[in-house]
Amino acid sequence: MTQASQVSSEPSRPFIAFIERAGKKIPDPVIIFMFLLFLVLGISGLVGGMEFQVVGGNGDLITHQVKSMFASENVRWMFDNAILTNWLSFGHGVLGVILVVMLGVGIAEHSGFLSVLIKRLGLKLNEKWLPMLLVFLGIMSSIATDAGYLVLIPLAGMLYAGVGKNPLIGMAAAFAGVSAGFSANLIPATPVDVIIGLNARIFAESQNVPFANAAGEALNPATMHYFFIVASTFMLAFLGAWVTKRFVAPRLDKMPYILPDDFNQNDFNVSEQEKKGLRVAGLGFLFSLACIAGFSFGPLAPYTNEAGRSVVPYMDNVILLIAMVFAITGMCFGYSTGKFKSLQDVVNAMVKQMNTFGYVLVLTFFSHNFLAILGFSGLGVYITYLGATGLSSLGLENYPIILIIGFILTTALINVFVGGLTSKWMLLGPIFIPMLYQVNPNMTPDIVSAAYRVADSSTNIITPLMTYAGVILAFMRKYKPDLSFGDVIAMMLPYSAAFLVVWTSLLVAFFTFNIPLGF
């Protein structure tokens, strides 16, 4: 896999070369949040004591004051809250919830269940439906990032080579599904749903923006986009297949390719032991659904509390229930195939998954403290006030669709230069969720965060800064050794453009016709 680091551009592609040069000069997101934290401290010292007025929910003017974080009591607040409140308990423990979800996914992933499931489904694909099903499988595999990139994409190349077609066609379709369809799925409460939803609630509540949809109904962070992402899954699968057949395949069919000496389609065959594991995992899946039903009609059944409000515990805990499904199916597969021989192996699988989250812990320490100080100092409200005033002065409060499209295009452009879904959301979410709501109350947190998902996913496949860019290039170079990342971007650009335009149109349709994004 030494080729993974050889990401380069052709001189004839100056725009791609510019993206690479600009991307290399942009610091790591952790460093960006370090800088922003100190920037907020400095600005608070300069404008501390300044007052400004914003319009409240009832139409009255509310006076706010920016606090200087250099005042003794505020310095004490930073030290007293930096570790527990600002970091570990930020947003009612959002970090802990994300980590718990990843424990369940980790068991399923490290047992081999997700990889084998992808292989099993991939090898059953009919040639006629190959492009659409590869995109669909890519979207579904986004629940386990590594399995999609490291299993499905090379498998797609072998499937196309096996029918005498350019392997890069299949790899492009799978890449489009895994990466560009990252924010779509048929499974609710995926890690992306949790990260986007829980943080959206934090960003909204920090500036007294109702965490509710346009109809005034309270949002569930884990499922507030579920109807939209289900519709997106099928739309992207059909659209990806059309782009493959209309633009990608005709071009790549003319491109020469080689089959490597070590090419062996049996590398992706599913063994009898793995087939048995899938059957047992299927039983485990049914058992986990029975457990969820038991909880939903038992201890987690809806009830009316002392205040007379209806409470639905199983919906409030849907994240844990989904994590339980992954854990049970993963354990069933692992034990039946021999991957797990004892409970210690299950523990090791969870530890492996947590090892990949070391960077997230570092990132969230600085980003959560930055956001906490931004809110406590009053600068967050002031930035929202300035942005909302500027947009309103342009008359955009009467054109919410323009606001949606403008935010999508802004995020999509930033995504080309700055990778990482979480880091960008932590940077853009706390600014745009309250700002766009202040401009137009129809720009509710679920609409803004859905727009972010569309933009972030659509341009993942045309940036050399994407985490797996080098790995994908290495896989493709097995069939065309002189392939550059400029060639890859040119190959994937039709997917990116089509996804961005049609996916944005789908979101605008949901918004225009008041279709709920989720439940």
State pLDDT tens for residues 151-209.
788 888 888 887 788 999 999 999 999 987 788 999 888 888 988 999 999 999 988 89
Question: In sequence order, which ranges of 27-129 are alpha helices (DSSP H)?
Answer: 29-47, 72-81, 90-110, 113-122
Distance CA 404, CA 443 (A): 8
Q: What is the pLDDT of residue 10?
A: 45
Name the band, by pLDDT with cuts 50, 70 and 90, for residue 80.
Answer: very high
Q: What is the pLDDT of residue 260?
A: 76
Q: What is the pLDDT of residue 4?
A: 36
Residue 511 has pLDDT above 90, yes or no: yes
Cα Dmax for the chain = 74
Q: What is the mean pLDDT of residues 454-476?
A: 84
Q: What is the pLDDT of residue 48?
A: 92
- CA-closest candidate to residue 492, choices 469, 519, 518, 474: 469
Q: 52, exposed or middle or buried, with CB in 10 Å at 0-12, 13-18, 19+?
A: middle
Mean pLDDT of the chain: 87
The secondary structure of residue 270, as a DSSP letter, is P
Q: What is the pLDDT of residue 11?
A: 40
Name the band, by pLDDT with cuts 50, 70 and 90, for residue 146.
Answer: low
- CA-closest candidate to residue 461, choices 502, 423, 494, 507: 494
Residue 144 has pLDDT above 80, yes or no: no
Q: What is the mean pLDDT of residues 135-164?
A: 81
Q: Which residue has the tokens 């959301």?
A: 425
Tell me which H or E stretch contains 282: helix 272-297
Token pair of 23 as six digits: 């991307």
Distance CA 393, CA 385 (A): 12
Write 49-52 long-range contacts (CB < 8 A, 24+): 50/382, 52/382, 52/385
Q: What is the pLDDT of residue 15?
A: 61
Q: 204, exposed or middle or buried, with CB in 10 Å at 0-12, 13-18, 19+?
A: buried
| Contacts of 275 by beta carbon, 8 Å cutoff, 6+ apart | 120
Distance CA 91, CA 198 (A): 8
| Contacts of 227 by beta carbon, 8 Å cutoff, 6+ apart | 515, 516, 517, 518, 519
Q: Are strands 303-304 and 310-311 parallel, antiparallel or unpaired?
A: antiparallel
Amino acid at 443: M
> In this predicted model, which residue has the larger pLDDT, 517 or 326?
517
State pLDDT tens for residues 238-257.
999 999 999 999 999 988 99
Q: What is the pLDDT of residue 151?
A: 77
Q: Which residue has the tokens 């659509």?
A: 458
Q: What is the pLDDT of residue 262?
A: 62
Name the band, by pLDDT with cuts 50, 70 and 90, for residue 493.
Answer: very high
Q: What is the mean pLDDT of residues 457-467?
A: 83
Distance CA 249, CA 243 (A): 9
Residue 107 has pLDDT above 60, yes or no: yes
Candidate ranges 81-85, 238-242, 389-393, 395-399; pick with highest mean pLDDT: 238-242
Could you tell me if 252 and 175 are in contact, meaning their C-beta atoms sit under 8 angstroms apart? no
Q: What is the mean pLDDT of residues 440-451?
A: 96
Q: What is the pLDDT of residue 3?
A: 38
Q: What is the mean pLDDT of residues 72-100?
A: 88
Distance CA 352, CA 329 (A): 18
Lowest mean pLDDT among 40-54, 257-271, 500-514: 257-271
Residue 290 has pLDDT above 90, yes or no: yes
Name the band, by pLDDT with cuts 50, 70 and 90, for residue 373.
Answer: very high
Q: C-alpha 284: how far from its chain's center?
A: 27
Q: What is the mean pLDDT of residues 34-56?
A: 89
Name beta bridge partners: 63: 53
Could you tell me if 240 and 173 are in contact, meaning their C-beta atoms sit under 8 angstroms apart? yes
In 388-494, the DSSP E strands lie at: none
The secondary structure of residue 154, as a DSSP letter, is H
End-to-end CA distance of the chain, in Å?
Answer: 43
Q: 69, exposed or middle or buried, with CB in 10 Å at 0-12, 13-18, 19+?
A: buried
- CA-closest candidate to residue 472, choices 161, 167, 105, 130: 167
Distance CA 310, CA 298 (A): 16
Provide the residue ranges of all domains of the chain, joining segments of one domain with +.
2-512
Q: For the chain, how many residues are written? A: 519
> In this predicted model, which residue has the larger pLDDT, 278 or 380?
278
Question: In sequence order, which ranges of 176-248 are alpha helices (DSSP H)?
Answer: 191-205, 226-243
| Contacts of 146 by beta carbon, 8 Å cutoff, 6+ apart | 109
Sign, Cα dihedral of 89, 93, 99, 103:
positive
State pLDDT tens for residues 332-342.
999 999 999 99
- CA-closest candidate to residue 379, choices 75, 32, 82, 49: 49
Read off φ and ψ for residue 304, nearest 5 degrees.
-105, 125
Amino acid at 175: F
Q: What is the mean pLDDT of residues 382-395?
A: 86
Q: What is the mean pLDDT of residues 5-16?
A: 48
Q: What is the mean pLDDT of residues 401-409?
A: 96
Distance CA 290, CA 203 (A): 36
Q: What is the mean pLDDT of residues 122-148?
A: 81
Name beta bridge partners: 218: 212
User: Percent of the chain having pLDDT more than 70?
Assistant: 91
User: Percent of the chain having pLDDT more than 90?
Assistant: 51
Lowest mean pLDDT among 130-134, 269-273, 289-293, 491-495: 269-273
Cα–Cα distances (Å) from 416 to 180, 456, 476, 499, 506, in that order, read: 12, 9, 21, 15, 22
Name beta bridge partners: 61: 55
